Chain A
Amino acid sequence: MKILETIGLCKTYGSGDTMVKALDGVDLTVEKGEFVAVVGPSGSGKSTLMHIVGGVDSASDGKVLIDSTDVTALDETALAIFRRRQIGLIYQFYNLIPILTVEENLTLPLLLDGRKVDRRQVENIAERLGLTDRLKHLPSQLSGGQQQRVSIGRALINNPALVLADEPTGNLDSENSREVISLLRQFNRELGQTVIMITHDEGIAASADRLIEIRDGRIVRDEGGRI
């Protein structure tokens, strides 16, 4: 079952002589439950692809279909609600809100949605992430690895259609990196969560089900897919 499909996705910056093509007609399909690693040199367009797929940036041309919804056709409010419910984003620098507790950061998408927080669900996910005794702490009281685990929990709390991780280990030491990847893998295998992850680490990329390489805004390699 196709969970993501991009059709002729383009993104350009600037105009005239200074125009830069960040994405140049990317066609990509991801099946539900896949664990995809996206690699490529700096400036190749992989983060741009991730942001457009995640609905946090807009495409210059082309379409993004997530679970059959054309994300590029949604207005700002609908897109925010879609992002809240269907997308989980994990960033290199965690992007936790420093004045909210771990628990509040974890449940932020639910709280924004005005939904009642299921305590059991929170405890369950905190346990899986090893954060049970840290729920009332502020992000500044956690280590980098712990902060990234909170970020993973926040991305997964809503059981989104797609989890997008932008270099989730880029700011972590090797032990914490292994732990984070292992967690993502675990959620992918046990819950069938689709994960698309950008990484520079060849080792981490090799552990993915599928490897996509992007250069100059184009997909130049796509290996190991479930096709």
Chain B
Amino acid sequence: MNIVNTLTLRHVAAHKKRSVLTLLAVIVSVAMVTAVFTAVYSFIEFMKDDVAAADGSWHVQFGYEGDAPLDYFRGVEGIEYCVSGNIMSLAPEGAGELLLESADETVVDLRNIQFAEGSFPKSENEILLTDRYLEDNRLDWKVGGTYEMTALDYRTGEQSVKSFTLAGIALDNVSYFQSRDAVTLRQGGLSKNNMAFVTVRFDKLDSETSGRVDTIRRESGAVQYRTSELYQFSGFSGDKSMLAAVGSFLLIILAIIVFTSVFMIRNSFAVSYREREKYLGMLASVGATGRQKRGSVYFEGLIFALIGIPLGIGAGVLGIAVTFKAISGYIPVILAQPTGTVLRVRLHPLIIAGTVAVSALTIFISCLIPARRASRVTPIVAIRSVNTGRQISAKRLRTPKIWEKLFGFEGALAAKNRRRDPRTGRNITFALAMSVVLFISVTTFSMMFEKMVTNAGVVRTPDLYVDISGSYREDVESFLDSKKADDRYSVTQYPAQLSDRSLLLDEEWNSGGGEVYLEIRAYDDKTFDAYVKKLGLDPNGLRGSDGIRAVFVDPSSATGYKRFADATGRTISVWYQPADVSSDSRKTVELEMTVAAVAQSGPEVDGYAWTGLIVSGETFYSVFSLEDPSVRFCVFTGDYRALETQLKERLADIGAAAEIYNAGAMQESQNAVLTIAKVFIYGFIALLTLIAVMNIVNSISNSMNERRTEFAMIRSVGMSPKGLRRMICLENFGFGLTALLWAFPVSAAIHALMYYALSQSERTEIPFEPQPLLYLASGAAALAVIAAALLWSADKIKDENIMDSLKNE
């Protein structure tokens, strides 16, 4: 090792406290870079595994009209494939439609089909059926049993009764069974009138795969094709949008980390450079070149890189492992179809290489300015002990008289000191202000976002939506009553169109002649009565048989851009097509309704705007004379998962089919995503703040150290220890207060901007809530950091002998 590097190494070892702080800052910075890379890579790998578990390991599916070109695919090397196509719609007695696909046995591997029992069919007379179909239809079929059912064969168009042997029962936990219930072995050609599909998995994915897909598509005459998510995740598919999005996200996060880290670590190197300035001057006087002096700073960077990068990578991986463990409970909640895939830390040599490269670049950029300064140090610095810092005028150091009156002579000195060393001041102020702004902004953003997502700022929305035929209305009502759901309402609707175009205000609508679609809605009596009373009307007045009286719902009525004239009291005409149009599809029915009131919205609370008319249930059913119109139940309950399961069981018991949308579970999933996002964002901010705190401690500690002689001199002329403490505290807390003076307005401005952006883009009513407590807490934390830094560095000065300090000069 050359003498300049030896000198640097000894300097680093001699200044243990500062070196440890610098090393910690490097470790935290590297840990963040590692965490970001590892988290993104692990998530992508997790998604791949999850997709592979739920969707299988296929990459591309080609579609053909009629039969697939089997001869062509036999000649393609390096692929595994399966030919499939829906061939029959089956109807077992007393059960719902059973859609049967014909496929090669490779479908088991390519679509990750798992067996509850039995095996894949060995002939076209055998089927593999999902457990869900059997459960939903309450069928007690056994593997090996033969069952008769009506079959509509797509290949021939013939309907007949066929017998199938149940070869196996498959778990309905893969996407393959979302659009079919059973599969049989493909033995011959597929339908001439239907689509045939070839699902392909490439042995190896590389940059040429996308070209191969195009070639296969072109040469085999595929009329359509689609790629799997697994293929898209690989990065080799033509569609780079997903990876581009991940890449942009990664770049933004890394840019923030690098920028913050450079700012913080650079200061550590600058502090070290200032300490070594005189040595460098001495070296220059005995012939050290600019390159050698510059090299000494880079070497210092190398020392911290060699120690900090491996430790940082270890800390980052450990941090992510702990974080994954902490959020593991939320993972099944956010997946649409939980597959049992575990989120665990994945590492790849390229991830390590990327981390090392970004970290090394961060440290190198941090060294650049101190290194340039070091190369310019002249021997005069050593010979004359000159301070190369910028000279400041006496005018700049002038302090207002009031300052001295308020805080005494120590206060005035503190103010002068702050002005004397603007560089240290800027470092501390910026680091503190940035931490406070980041913390406040992210906290207010997540609070607003949470309110927006959960709608907590407005009203509670239904947890379960159940769409079911009206014939089961009473069954569902009595079931819900027995389960004591918190609340519910039901609505039924019928589409109609406005005939009375004189009601339209907008010229374009009138002249354009476009149709004006309306919904005629009826709610349950309780909901209808409460709603109508709220509008100041008598519910019974809207139930009378002397003409239809309705509430006109017009969301534009409360806006500046009204679509309709005030219809209150007017009789308007609408038309609709009756349900039974099989005889004459052009048949329409005209209806006249008197508008009792105009409202901005209906009684529902889910926030979806619609335009139409609300009539009483009685009127609705008598007017439309529909045979069991579909009704939607909107249920409020805390136990939406259990209620959904119980409701499904009940519906199966009575043989009713229903569409159930579990908004509560969806909300829970959104909350889980939010929690995970918060864990990462706060973790990220905590680490950034940690670097900032180290930077502040380093700056204050070094500033105290550099000025030991000055403090001794002040004490030698009679300043008491209390006075000295007072001066130092005022000086440093001054930095803290300046930082807060910047940070609070900036945070408030960012809060306002975020509120504006969110309220504009989402059109959701979220309240603007100032957060004084958050500001107070952040301010207190910032000042606590200053106090901690002072405690850390004050021990050097406290009991120091005045003469020893003065002699050091």
Binding site for B on A (CB under 8 A): 51, 54, 56-57, 76-77, 80-85, 87, 89, 91, 95-97, 99-100, 104, 108-109, 111-114, 154, 166
With a cutoff of 8 Å between Cβ atoms, the chain B residues found around residue A166 in the complex are 383
- Complex contacts, B292 vs chain A, CB 8 Å: 80, 112
Contacts A/B (CB < 8 Å), 21 sampled:
A51-B380, A56-B378, A57-B379, A77-B290, A84-B287, A85-B287, A87-B287, A91-B285, A95-B282, A95-B285, A96-B282, A97-B282, A99-B14, A100-B6, A100-B7, A104-B6, A109-B286, A112-B3, A112-B283, A112-B286, A166-B383
B286 touches A99 (CB 8 A): no
Determine if B283 and A99 form an interchain contact, defined as CB atoms under 8 angstroms apart. Answer: no
Q: Kindly name the residue among B11, B282, B287, B289 whose own CB sees the greatest number of chain A CB atoms within 10 A.
A: B287
**Distance between Cα atoms of A179 and B165 in the complex (Å):** 115
CA distance A114 to B6 in the complex (A): 13
Interface-central residue, A80, A85, A91, by most chain B CB under 10 Å: A80
Given the complex of chains A and B, what is the CA–CA distance between A81 and B292 in angstroms?
A: 11
Q: Is B288 an interface residue (CB 8 A)?
A: yes
Contact call B383/A51, Cβ cutoff below 8 A: yes
A91 touches B283 (CB 8 A): no
Contact A99 B7 (CB under 8 A): yes
Known A91-B383, A97-B279; 8 more pairs at CB < 8 Å? A51-B383, A54-B285, A56-B378, A56-B380, A76-B290, A108-B3, A109-B287, A112-B3
Complex CA–CA separation, A81 to B383 (angstroms):
18
Residues on the B chain within 8 Å of A100, using CB: 3, 6-7, 10
B647 at the interface (CB under 8 A from A): no
Contact partner, B286, options A51, A76, A89, Cβ 8 Å: A89
Q: Is the CB of B289 within 8 A of A77?
A: yes
Q: Which residues of A contact B516 (CB under 8 A)?
A: none
With the chains together, A77 CA to B290 CA distance in Å?
6
B790 within 8 A of A: no
The residue that B383 contacts in the complex, of A76, A95, A114, with Cβ under 8 A, is: A95
Q: Could you tell me if B287 and A81 are in contact, using CB atoms closer than 8 angstroms?
A: yes
Alpha-carbon distance between A207 and B109 when the two chains are bound, in angstroms = 102
Q: Indicate if B382 sits at the interface (CB-CB under 8 A).
A: yes
Tell me the bound Cα distance from A89 to B286 in angstroms.
7
Q: Which residues of A contact B287 (CB under 8 A)?
A: 80-85, 87, 109, 112-113
Shortest distance in angstroms between A43's beta carbon and chain B's nearest beta carbon? 13
B binding-site residues for A, Cβ under 8 Å = 2-4, 6-7, 10-11, 14, 279, 282-292, 378-380, 382-383
Cβ-defined contact, B378 with A81, below 8 A: no
Residues of A near B286 (CB, < 8 A) are 83-84, 89, 108-109, 112, 154
A78, closest chain B residue (CB): B289
List A contacts of B379 (CB < 8 A): 51, 56-57, 83, 89
Q: Provided the pairs A51-B380, A77-B291 are in contact, do residues A97 and B285 lie with their beta carbons within 8 angstroms?
A: no
A56 to B285, CA, bound (A): 6
Closest 3 CB pairs of A and B: A84-B287, A111-B3, A56-B379
- Which among A82, A89, A112 has the greatest number of chain B C-beta atoms within 10 A? A112
Tell me which residues across on chain A come within 8 A of B283, comparing CB atoms: 97, 108, 112
A191 CA / B127 CA spacing, docked (Å): 108
Q: List chain A residues, Cβ under 8 A from B290.
A: 76-77, 80
User: Are B288's CB and A112's CB within 8 A?
Assistant: yes
Of B289, B290, B291, B383, the most chain A CB neighbours within 10 A belong to B383
Cα(A112)–Cα(B283), bound, Å: 8
Complex contact A56–B3 (CB within 8 A): no
Instruction: Return A142 CB to nearest CB of chain B, in Å.
Output: 16
Q: Which residues of B contact A114 (CB under 8 A)?
A: 2
Measured between beta carbons, the chain B residues less than 8 angstroms from A85 are 287
A84 to B291, CA, bound (A): 14
Complex Cα gap A104–B3 (Å): 8
Query: Contacts of B378 on A, CB cut-off 8 Å?
Result: 56-57
The reply to whether B383 and A80 form a contact with Cβ atoms under 8 Å apart is: no
Min CB–CB distance B140 → chain A (angstroms): 87
The residue on A at minimum CB distance from B381 is A56
Contacts of A89 in B (CB 8 A): 285-286, 379
| Chain A residue nearest to B281 in the complex (CB) | A95
User: Which residue of the partner chain B has the closest CB to A77?
Assistant: B289
Given A97-B283, A104-B3, A81:B289 Cβ within 8 A:
yes
Which residues does chain A contribute within 8 Å of B284, judged by CB atoms? 56, 80
Residues of A with C-beta under 8 A to B10 = 99-100
Task: Determine the chain B residues whose CB is within 8 A of the CB of A82 once the complex forms.
Answer: 287
Give B521 Cβ to nearest chain A Cβ, in Å: 86
Quote the shortest CB–CB distance from B79 to chain A (angstroms). Answer: 62
Instruction: Given A112-B287, A154-B286, verify A56-B11 contact (CB < 8 Å).
Output: no
A42 and B4 CA atoms in complex are apart in Å by 35
Distance between B378 CB and nearest chain A CB, rounded to angstroms = 7
Contacts of B291 in A (CB 8 A): 77
Nearest B residue (CB) for A114: B2
**Contact among A54, A91, A95, A112 with B4 in the assembled complex (CB-CB below 8 Å):** A112
Nearest neighbor of B282 in chain A, beta-carbon distance: A95
Residues of A near B288 (CB, < 8 A) are 80, 84, 112
Across-interface contacts of A81 in B (CB, < 8 A): 287, 289
Q: Which residues of B contact A54 (CB under 8 A)?
A: 285
Alpha-carbon gap, A132 to B509, bound state (A) = 106
**How distant is B394 from chain A, measured CB to nearest CB, in Å?**
15
- In the complex, A54 Cα to B279 Cα: how many Å? 18
The answer for the CA separation of A166 and B383 in the assembled complex, in Å, is: 10
In the complex, how many angstroms separate the beta carbon of B717 from the nearest chain A beta carbon?
25
In the assembled complex, the Cα of A114 lies from the Cα of B4 at a distance in Å of: 10
CB distance from B385 to the nearest CB of A (A): 8
User: Closest residue of chain A to B279, judged by CB?
Assistant: A97
- Specify the chain B residue showing the minimal Cβ separation from A85: B287
Given the complex of chains A and B, what is the CA–CA distance between A124 and B505 in angstroms? 109
On whether A57 and B2 interact (CB within 8 A), knowing A80-B288, A97-B7, the answer reads no
Chain B nearest CB, measured from A134 CB (Å)? 18
List residues of chain A with CB within 8 A of the CB of B14: 99
* B382 contacts across to A, CB distance below 8 A: 95
Q: How far is the CB of A152 from chain B (nearest CB, A)?
A: 13
Q: How far is the CB of B806 from chain A (nearest CB, A)?
A: 15
- Given known pairs A56-B284, A99-B14, the reply for A80 and B289 (CB within 8 Å) is yes
Instruction: Give min CB distance, A36 to chain B, whole Å.
Output: 20
Interface centre among B14, B284, B291 (most CB of A within 10 A): B284
CB distance from A91 to the nearest CB of B (A): 6
Cα(A76)–Cα(B10), bound, Å: 27
Nearest CB on B from A154, distance (A): 7
A111 to B4, CA, bound (A): 9
Q: Given the complex, which residues of B lie within 8 Å of A154, measured CB to CB?
A: 286
Which residues of chain A are near B4, meaning CB under 8 Å?
112
Q: Within 8 Å CB of A109, what residues of B?
A: 286-287
Q: Which residues of B contact A83 (CB under 8 A)?
A: 285-287, 379
- Contacts of A56 on B, CB cut-off 8 Å? 284-285, 378-380, 383
Give, as a whole number of angstroms, the nearest-CB distance from B579 to chain A: 94
By beta carbon, the residue of chain B nearest A92 is: B383
> What distance in Å separates the Cβ of A155 from its nearest Cβ neighbour in chain B?
8
Chain A residue nearest to B375 (CB atoms) is A76
Q: How far is the CA of A85 from the CA of B288 in the complex (A)?
A: 11
CA distance A109 to B282 in the complex (A): 11
Q: For A95, what are the chain B residues with a Cβ–Cβ distance below 8 Å? A: 282, 285, 382-383
**Complex formed: what's the CA distance from A82 to B4 in Å?**
18
Shortest distance from the beta carbon of A113 to any chain B beta carbon, whole Å: 7
With both chains docked as a complex, state the minimum distance between the C-beta of B808 and any C-beta of chain A, in angstroms.
11
How far apart sit A84 and B290, CA to CA, in the bound complex (Å)?
13
Please give, as numbers and ranges, the residues of chain B lying within 8 Å of A112 by CB-CB distance: 3-4, 283, 286-288, 292
**Considering the chains assembled together, what is the distance between the CA atoms of A95 and B379 in angstroms?**
10
Q: CB-CB < 8 A to A84: which residues of B?
A: 286-288
Nearest CB on A from B807, distance (A): 12
With a cutoff of 8 Å between Cβ atoms, the chain A residues found around residue B11 in the complex are 99
Residue among B288, B291, B378, B380 having the largest count of chain A Cβ atoms under 10 Å: B288
Q: CA A97 – CA B378 in complex, angstroms?
A: 15
Closest CB-CB distance, B73 to chain A, in whole Å?
69
- Complex CA gap A51/B382 in Å reads 12
